[in-house]
């Protein structure tokens, strides 16, 4: 009887232990948060898409850095837009520093994720290694912009360690090496799925185009070093090698991201409605008389307003100061120069030129806006 009881006790305890082990597994599974994605669920192209998106700049940073600082410094737009003067601020550059660091971080995350998650399907196992190379190429572009803007860059940034800043020379050595290795590591026979391709608005993860981009960037960056003394890079050899590869040579290869309306990073930096983007005096002087293509050859309707090239406007001695570096400051151009760079009227439109392809349609902002900008007659009911 005792032997039977011992046997039953052993069986019960064994079953209990097995059940306990199974229960622990079930318990762990229940405790796994459904909203927390593990490493196997995170695709590297997700992080790369995040970097693509953020780097296009939402209106918050774009307006301040691109318009207030860059466009003003380069004298592309006028110094007075919507009454805003002295717009440059170094604080905006500080913000760009942190923004750019985040874009690099997302690209670095994509590279690291590709190492951690090899993929669960045959397609992913072929596609994810390509994503890693795409991310390396894209990160080089971001690092180049950073180094060109701020100087030394920490090559070990976003790696979970206290970063050490490297010289610009070392940064360029790293960039050229990354581009060369990344291009060689891309499998051009791998095609993304339709969903994956949407994550790359520029190239749709077209592997062949990314290879061309890597070679073209190598060519661009090594050309920058042609006038710089460096013992770490054989500039001529790098140039010759990059030039011998497939390059971006056609409009179809152009690396660009689409612009979209609304408050998003894909909003165009030059089309925010609050900013009239007035042309600067510098741009006026540069575009006037540039080339020998008459304005009337592409806009014959402007013939009544054309002024000869030896005419630069009516002079107002008592209205504008002479203490300026603009030689035409006292002159008011009461017409259109006979010759303009054809690109001029593509970027800017003439006041009230409703026939212009780029005429700003602000009809959605109502009659008040129309009247303020003198674009439509607010008393005309047909236009309101």
Contact (Cβ atoms closer than 8 angstroms) between residue 233 and residue 240: no
Residue 112: name the closest of 96, 98, 88, 128 by CA. 128
Q: Which residue has the tokens 């998650």?
A: 117
The H-assigned helical ranges of 199-277 are 207-224, 235-243
pLDDT at 22: 47
Nearest alpha-carbon partner for 53 in 138, 112, 119, 123: 138
What CA–CA distances, in Å, run from 267 to 46, 51, 101, 155, 278?
20, 16, 21, 30, 19
Burial of residue 114, with CB atoms counted within 10 A of its CB: 0-12 exposed, 13-18 middle, 19 or more buried:
buried
Return the closest-CA partner of residue 76 out of 86, 66, 64.
Answer: 66
Residue 186 in contact with residue 210, Cβ under 8 Å? yes
**Ramachandran angles phi, psi of 301, nearest 5°:** -70, -15
Give the alpha-carbon dihedral of 212, 214, 216, 220, to 10 degrees.
Answer: 170
**Minimum mean pLDDT among 227-236, 259-268, 358-367: which range?**
358-367
pLDDT at 374 over 80: no
- In three-state secondary structure terms, 333 is coil
pLDDT over 80 at 302, yes or no: yes
pLDDT at 235 over 50: yes
For the chain, percent of residues with pLDDT exceeding 90: 44
| Contacts of 54 by beta carbon, 8 Å cutoff, 6+ apart | 99, 102, 103, 106, 265
Q: Say how many C-beta atoms besides its own lie within 10 A of residue 342's C-beta.
A: 15
pLDDT digits (tens, 9 = 90+) for 238-290: 999 999 999 999 988 989 998 887 778 888 876 665 666 778 888 888 898 88
pTM confidence score: 0.74
Parallel, antiparallel, or unpaired: how do β-strands 331-332 and 336-337 relate?
unpaired
What pLDDT is attached to residue 205?
97
SS3 per-residue string spanning 116-143: HCCCCCHHHHHHHHHHHHHHHHHHHHHH
Cα 177 to Cα 171: distance, rounded to the nearest angstrom: 10
Q: Are 374 and 380 in contact (CB under 8 A)?
A: no
Predicted confidence band at 312 (pLDDT cuts at 50, 70, 90)?
Answer: confident
User: Taking the CA of residue 384 as centre, how many other CA atoms within 13 Å lie in the half-sphere pointing to its CB?
Assistant: 12
Distance, in Å, from the CA atom of 369 to the CA atom of 384, rounded to the nearest integer, reads 11
Query: With bands split at pLDDT 50, 70 and 90, how would you rate the model's confidence at 175?
Result: very high
Give strand pairing partners of 166: 153
Q: What residues have CB less than 8 Å from 230, skipping those under 6 apart? A: 169, 172
User: Structural domain boundaries of the chain?
Assistant: 39-253, 281-383
Report the 10 Å Cβ neighbour count for 96: 21
The model's confidence at residue 8, banded by pLDDT at 50, 70 and 90, is very low
A 10 A CB-CB count for 1 gives 5
Quick check: 369 pLDDT over 70?
Answer: no
Q: Say what the pLDDT of residue 51 is.
A: 96
Q: Of 205, 201, 203, nearest to 259 (Cα)?
A: 201
Task: Classify domain 39-253 by CATH architecture.
Answer: Alpha Horseshoe (1.25)
In this structure, of 51-55, 76-80, 84-88, the range with the lowest mean pLDDT score is: 84-88
Q: Is the dihedral of CA 330, 72, 268, 201 positive or negative?
A: positive
Q: What is the mean pLDDT of the chain?
A: 82
pLDDT digits (tens, 9 = 90+) for 133-162: 999 999 999 999 999 888 999 998 877 888
Number of H helices, E strands in the chain: 13, 4
Exposure b/e, 311-338, CB count within 10 A at least 16 = b: ebeeeeeeeeeeeeeeebebeeeeebbb
């Amino acid at each position: 009887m005792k032997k039977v009881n011992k046997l039953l006790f052993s069986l019960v305890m064994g079953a209990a232990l097995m059940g306990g082990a199974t229960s622990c597994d079930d318990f762990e599974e229940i405790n796994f948060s459904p909203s927390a994605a593990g490493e196997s669920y995170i695709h590297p192209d997700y992080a790369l898409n995040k970097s693509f998106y953020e780097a296009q700049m939402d209106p918050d940073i774009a307006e301040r850095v691109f318009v207030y600082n860059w466009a003003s410094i380069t004298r592309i737009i006028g110094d007075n837009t919507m009454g805003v003067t002295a717009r440059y601020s170094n604080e905006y550059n500080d913000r760009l520093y942190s923004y750019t660091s985040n874009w690099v971080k997302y690209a670095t995350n994509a590279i690291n994720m590709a190492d951690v998650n090899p993929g669960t399907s045959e397609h992913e196992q072929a596609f994810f290694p390509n994503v890693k190379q795409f991310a390396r190429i894209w990160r080089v572009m971001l690092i180049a912009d950073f180094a060109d803007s701020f100087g030394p860059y920490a090559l070990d940034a976003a790696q979970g360690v206290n970063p050490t800043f490297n010289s610009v020379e070392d940064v360029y050595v790293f960039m050229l090496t990354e581009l060369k290795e990344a291009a060689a590591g891309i499998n051009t026979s791998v095609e993304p799925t339709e969903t994956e391709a949407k994550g790359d608005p520029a190239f749709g993860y077209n592997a062949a185009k990314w290879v061309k981009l890597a070679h073209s960037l190598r060519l661009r960056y090594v050309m920058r070093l042609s006038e710089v003394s460096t013992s770490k890079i054989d500039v001529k050899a790098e140039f010759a090698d990059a030039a011998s590869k497939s390059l971006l040579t056609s409009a179809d290869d152009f690396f660009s991201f689409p612009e979209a309306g609304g408050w998003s990073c894909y909003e165009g930096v030059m089309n925010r409605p609050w900013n009239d983007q007035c042309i600067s005096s510098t741009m006026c002087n540069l575009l006037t008389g540039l080339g020998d293509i008459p304005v009337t050859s592409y806009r014959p309707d402007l013939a009544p307003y054309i002024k000869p090239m030896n005419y630069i406007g009516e002079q107002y001695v008592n209205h504008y100061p002479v203490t300026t570096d603009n030689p035409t400051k006292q002159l008011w151009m009461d017409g259109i120069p006979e010759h303009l760079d054809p690109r001029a009227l593509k970027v800017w439109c003439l006041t009230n030129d409703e026939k212009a392809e780029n005429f700003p349609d602000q009809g959605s902002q109502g009659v008040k806006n129309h009247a303020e900008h003198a674009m439509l007659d607010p008393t005309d009911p047909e236009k309101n």
